[in-house]
Amino acid sequence: MKRGLAILIGLMVALGASLGGVSPAAASHEIVIGLQCDRTGATQVVGVNWCPGYHDYVALVNSKGGVEGHKIKVLEIDHEYKVPPAMEGYERFKKEGAVLIGLYGTPHTYALMKKLTEDKIPGTSPGFGSAGAANGSKYPYIFPIAATYWSQAAASVKWAKDQLGGSLKGKKIAYLMYDNPAGHEPKEIFEDLAKLEGFELKIFAVPPPGVEMGAQTLDIAQRYRADFVIAHLFGRSPSVSIKELKRVGYPLKKVVSFVWGSAEADVEAAGGYGVAEGYAGLQFAGVGQDYPVLNEIREMYKKQGKPAPKEMTQSAYYNRGPMVAAVHLEAIRNAVKAKPDGKITGADVKAGFEKVKGLTLGGLIPPLEFSPSDHEGGGWVQVFQVKGGKFVKATDWFKAYPEVVGKHVKEAK
Amino acid sequence: MLDWQFFSLLLSNGILIGLMYSLIALGFVLVYKATDAINFAQGEFVMIAGWGVAAAMALYGAPLWLAVAAGLGGMIGFGFGLERVVLRPLIGRPIVAVIMATIGLAAVLRGLGPLLWGAETRSLSLPISDSPIVWGPLFIPPIQLLGAVVSLLFLAAFGWFFLKSRKGIAMRAVADNQQVAMAMGINVERYFALAWAMAGVVSALGGIIWGSLLGVDVHLALVGFKVFPVVILGGLDSVPGAILGGLIVGIVENVAAGYVDPWVGGGTKDFAPYLLMIIALMVRPYGIFGKATIERV
């Protein structure tokens, strides 16, 4: 009798345990994201740091049970900053059921814009082109989710104005740009602002891969004699620009870089902080390692008995990984809230993006807020400047000339 | 700034950069003079040497002098090893086989750098100032001045070696006709190895100087592309040709970038030397100082 009772109790416990397991986790549905990376190729300096940051944040969320009980699976392709592998990778992502694509690169975004819209899969293009995609009404499936090149152009002019005593009237600004679609994108904003603020603008194009720009920097410093330089370079070229401007005697405190030339890696490749004193750069995510979300990632590694990832020391690029991942997962969270079984589509995620509000990741990112018409989230940036051997925050989050940028976003073709 | 001052800036910059091209071109000439083969991996030699020196300092904490010594020694060993393992079995085969081997080698070296030392760009800082030396209207970057001086010293030394030393004359005899040189009792294999080792030394110096100028990663190999117009203009087998070709390419690309770029939107620096190369090939295919080969048919 006693034995029979024990068996009965055992069966009941087992049944209870199995019933208890019917929680969201048991009903979980794996949600797939496609991520483009460039761990090799012309701009690999970004990808080798950004992509680990992205994966670390997703692993952190998965370690806590996923998004509303659903695990996130990230598929990655390394496209070497080349469009054809990006296109092939996209088809694979689509086949594997990706509901969201983390794009990387302006030419790649241009190439995939039409497809993403046709397939109703949202793609994010943080900090690069197409700037016109900030207009959600015209580009429903592209989400810049961070300051576009138009907003960066406006912010860099504002920074230059502040550094030159509050007026740009009669000043000469050199725009040193990487000669590809990304470099050309902000030209129209500069031209408008040149008229508005009364400065002279001269464009200096650097052909890819941008490892030589001696003649351009010589011209900027000695013939044109620019009062300020706004640099929009990436990959190898930012570090070369720092060295070359220094070599022709141009003061680096009169240089501000767009977001892809303003990282620790660029300064280190240029020869270190001693060389780059005064060099300023725009950021759309915080720089440094002292943010709550990074502490959580370090703690996750510690629990696994592993050291913190070495990529964290390249904080300008690494920190953009958790930033982008957090925005992605917040959009998915919003989508899953509407469909708790987790069987969400790209269209659901698109709607999820448009509901993101007040996401700050403890100060790592600006207060992002998207809507069906605004896919950029405000166009916020911060400036960090090399001072005393490190990047120091020089401004709070700000956006500049919203009326000029807004006009272009409204008229985006 | 007056136009003549800007022109003199471009000219001085072009001369210094041109002499630095000459150093890389010398590696090319050394191999061609001794083996009659064109080394398409010359840029990758420079890249791997620079990468090794930068990695020795960054990853293994070596002081600069030790990293440089290791780089020079490593490239000499690499040159000897390469000759022994890859090129010696190709002696007597068509020249195209050696050329294809160097093309394959270039691809292997481009993969080897990131595999051994990581893909990130490394700085290779020499203990000299980054601020320019201001001399009248000229702004001379100290690294370019150092590069030009090192180039001139080595060009003079190798020029003397080929023209005056017994080994240099023997090396030229090997290049002229391997079979005849062998019949004369010259150890062809030894001179082949010496040529590749000398190319290794030049590549190490080029890697250190160009790496210091640009930073070190896979892109450093692009410097090797500038070698082609340099040696075609100067002559594939001529040390003075490497100097003159380097100067022409350095000056033309800088002056073109300074004056033509503003009209066409950029990029002249990249195509002007190749345009010059095509013209040279049409007018004087063996280069300014090159050996005009006459074949009886």
CA-atom Rg of chain A in angstroms = 23
Most confident of A345-354, B177-186, B258-267: A345-354
User: Residue B266's closest chain A neighbor by CA?
Assistant: A205
Residues B1-52 have pLDDT tens digits of 567 888 998 999 999 999 999 999 999 888 888 777 889 999 999 999 999 9
Query: Could you give the percent of chain B with pLDDT greater than 70?
Result: 98
Would you say residue B260 has pLDDT above 80? yes
Instruction: State how beta strands A357-359 and A142-143 pair.
Output: unpaired
Other Cβ atoms closer than 10 A to A225: 12
Which residues on B lie below 8 Å from A275 (Cβ)? 130
Is A205 close to B17, i.e. CB distance below 8 A? no
User: Which residues, 6+ apart, have CB-to-CB distance to A15 below 8 Å?
Assistant: none
CB contact under 8 A, A270 and B269: no
- Residue A341 Cα, gap to closest chain B Cα (Å): 42
Higher local confidence (pLDDT), B87 or A86? A86
Lowest pLDDT segment from A312-316, B118-122, B183-187: B118-122
B249 touches chain A (CB under 8 A): no
Residue B57 · residue A268 · CB < 8 Å: no
Residue A16: is its pLDDT beyond 70? no
Please count the CA atoms within 13 angstroms of the CA of A161 that sit on its side-chain side.
Answer: 19
CA angle (A211 as vertex; A87, A270 as ends), nearest 5:
110
Are the beta carbons of A247 and B143 separated by less than 8 Å? yes
Closest CA to B227 of B102, B103, B41, B51: B41
Mutation target among A212, A246, A260, A273 for the B interface, most CBs of B within 10 A: A212
> Is the alpha carbon torsion for A342, A347, A350, A355 positive or negative?
negative
What's the rounded mean pLDDT across residues A26-44?
84
Strands (E), A14-114: 31-37, 72-78, 100-102
Residue A338's pLDDT band (cuts 50, 70, 90): very high
Report the distance separating Cα A103 and Cα A79, nearest Å. Answer: 10
> Residue A23 — very low, low, confident or very high, per pLDDT cuts 50/70/90?
very low
Nearest CA to A102 out of A33, A148, A48, A182 is that of A33
Return the residue in B121, B122, B264, B270 with the most chain A beta carbons within 10 A, the one to mutate for interface testing.
B121
Please say if the pLDDT value at position A27 is more than 60: no
Output the pLDDT for position B174.
83
Alpha helices per DSSP H over A164-263: 181-184, 187-197, 214-218, 237-247
Beta bridge partners of A231: A176, A257
Distance CA B18, CA B12 (A): 10
Task: Locate A191 and state its tokens.
Answer: 């031209």
**Among positive and negative, which fits the CA dihedral A187, A192, A194, A195?**
positive
| Bond from prior residue into A241 cis (ω within 30 degrees of 0) | no
For residue A362, give Cα distances in angstroms to A101, A159, A371: 25, 25, 22
| pLDDT tens-digit readout, B141-173 | 899 999 999 999 998 998 898 888 998 888 888
pLDDT exceeds 90 at position A150 = yes
Crossing angle of helices B188-214 and B3-35, in 10° steps, is 150
Give the span between the Cα atoms of B147 and A98, in whole angstroms.
52
Q: What are phi and psi of A75, to 5 degrees?
A: -95, 135
For testing contact with chain B, the best of A78, A80, A236 (most B CBs within 10 A): A236
Closest CA in chain B for residue A179: B266
**Between these two residues, A180 and A143, which has the higher pLDDT value?**
A143
Distance to chain B for A297, nearest Cα, Å: 23
A205/B130 CB distance under 8 A: no
Instruction: State pLDDT tens for residues A57-67.
Output: 999 999 999 99
Cβ of A211 within 8 Å of Cβ of B219? The answer is: yes
The Cα B287–Cα B285 span in angstroms is: 6
Q: How far is B105 from chain A (nearest CA, A)?
A: 19
Render pLDDT for A264-305 as a digit per residue (tens, 0 to 9). 999 999 989 999 999 999 999 999 999 999 999 999 999 999
Element (DSSP H or E) covering residue B134:
strand B133-135
- Structure confidence at residue A211 (pLDDT): 83
3-state helix, strand, coil in chain B (%, to 5): 75, 5, 20
Beta strand A382-387 pairing with A280-283: antiparallel
- Put simply, the answer to whether A214 touches B214 (Cβ < 8 Å) is no
Nearest chain A residue to B219, by CA: A211
Choose between B295 and A172: higher pLDDT: A172
Type and span of the H or E element at A406: helix A402-410
Give dist(CA A204, CA A31) in Å, integer.
Answer: 45
Residue A23 sits at the chain B interface (C-beta within 8 Å): no
Q: Across the strands, what pairs with B138? A: B135
List, as ranges, residues 240-269 from A with C-beta within 8 Å of B: 240, 243, 246-249, 265, 268-269
Are A219 and B258 a contacting pair at CB < 8 A?
yes
What is the 3-state secondary structure of A123-174?
EECCCCCCHHHHECCCCCCEECCCCCHHHHHHHHHHHHHHHCCCCCCCCEEE
CA B223 to chain A, closest CA, distance in angstroms equals 9
Which residues, in sequence order, are bridge partners of residue A75? A34
Q: Please give the residue that has the higher pLDDT: either B251 or B88.
A: B251
Query: What is the model's pLDDT at position A7?
Result: 52
- Whole-number average pLDDT of chain A: 91
Residue A22: pLDDT band by 50, 70, 90 thresholds? very low
Hey, is the C-beta of A278 within 8 angstroms of any chain B C-beta?
no
Strands A172-178 and A228-232: parallel
Average of per-residue pLDDT across A338-358: 95
Residue A100: strand pairing partners: A33
Provide, as residue numbers in chain A, all residues whose Cβ is less than 8 Å from the Cβ of B264: none
- Altogether, the residues listed in chain A come to a count of 413
Residue A18 has pLDDT above 80, yes or no: no
The two tokens of residue B204 are: 């190490």
Task: Tell me the mean pLDDT in the region B219-243.
Answer: 90
Q: What percent of chain A has pLDDT over 70?
A: 93
More confident residue, A250 or A20: A250
Mean pLDDT of chain B: 88
Q: Is it the case that residue B232 has pLDDT exceeding 80? A: yes
Q: CB B134 to CB A249 under 8 A?
A: yes
